[in-house]
Structure 1
Amino acid sequence: MQPTAPPPALPRRLCGTPTTSGILIGPHPSHVKAARQWAAHATRSRPGLTDPLTLTVSELTANALRHTASGLPGGTVRIEIHRTRRHLELHVTDNGPTPGTAPTLPAVPDPEPLRVGGNGLRLVEAVCAYWDWTQAPCGAITVRAVFGC
């Protein structure tokens, strides 16, 4: 039996195009920082979007690690930026629900001024033009945030 090669080290950049770039991060919390740094670099041509986009990357990746199988050993989060002349689209995809649990679907919580935590999607909603999500048959959820230029 031949030994299998170890998986590539994470975080790692994904092959991109002139209009698309991506990064794959693992479950370690320090990978969220690497994702923020990558996003800041990826938006260097549109400096006005750097802060909103890095905030959104931080919140969505932290949510994926906290609420899905992406936060388990061996888990990953795929982050992609799609550029057009008129907008940027951020896509953050998790590994689906933690085994044995129902999926946690993205939703902005009801307004509650003294609520501790749970405000990440409220921040995302405040800084982007639009956001939504889709769920794949395997349970993985992709959250999309659109930023106007």
Structure 2
Amino acid sequence: MNERTFPGSAPEGIPALRRSAIPPPWRLNLPSPGKHGIVLGLDPHHVGLARRWADRIARDTDSASFALITTVSELVTNAQRHTRSGDPGGTTTVVVERRPFAFVLTVTDNGPRPGPTIPVPRIEDRHEPLAIGGYGLRVLDTLAAYWDWSGTAGGPLTVRALLERTGEPPGAAVPWTVVDPRS
């Protein structure tokens, strides 16, 4: 099951990006009724648009949709700041699949900017806890039950995350036993 993604081809389940005279954002027509997609441009205001879109897609309580909205915001921001999606003509594709107890989120960018190294998503060790910025993947790692990425060197990169719809913050479902010290 080693599938190869060719540069410029769309990831599995996401239609190939269309070239249009109309600038993004635009919605994707996906064949599955539980899947919703949107293509965003490089405008920083599209991050807010992505948050509002994710909130409508979630159709859930604020606490259950918090992880989805926050993760969409962080991943779209990362795509705009760190990849060619933030360059003129760049796009970011966001797809959300609603499942009974989870959301499956995929965010696809246009690939890395030219440079001596090809960056990949990773959580860096930080020695400066008061540094501004750089916490997007840490937030994703905290909110997601699982996340990974796929892509080819120099080509589009897709980050995929599984977000539970429990309505509780991650780690809140820890079983506790209350013991009365007087007994």
Q: Which category of TM-score, normalised to the shorter sequence, fits these structures?
A: 0.7 to 0.9
Is contact 1:49–1:147 with CA below 8 Å preserved after alignment?
no
The Cα shift of 1:20 comes to: 0.4
Matches within 5 A, 1:5-84: 7-16=21-30, 17-45=32-60, 47-84=62-99
Aligned to 2:168: none
Q: Which moved more, 1:68-77 or 1:116-125?
A: 116-125
* Aligned-pair Cα RMSD in Å: 1.9
Q: 1:140 aligns with which of 156, 174, 179?
A: 156
User: Please, which runs of 5 or more residues in structure 1 have no aligned partner?
Assistant: none
Q: 1:91 aligns with which of 106, 110, 115?
A: 106
SS of equivalent to 1:114: coil
2:182 is the counterpart of 1:129: no
Is contact 2:68–2:103 with CA below 8 Å preserved after alignment?
no
Letter of the 1:33 partner, please give it.
G
The Cα shift of 1:47 comes to: 4.8
Moved over 4 A (4+): none
Is contact 1:25–1:78 with CA below 8 Å preserved after alignment?
yes
Q: Assess, with a 3 A threshold, how the Cα gap between structure 1 residues 130 and 83 changes in structure 2: closer, same or farther.
A: same
Distance 2:124 2:154 in 1: 25
The Cα shift of 1:100 comes to: 4.2
Report the structure, 1 or 2, having the larger helix content.
1
Equivalenced residue count is 145
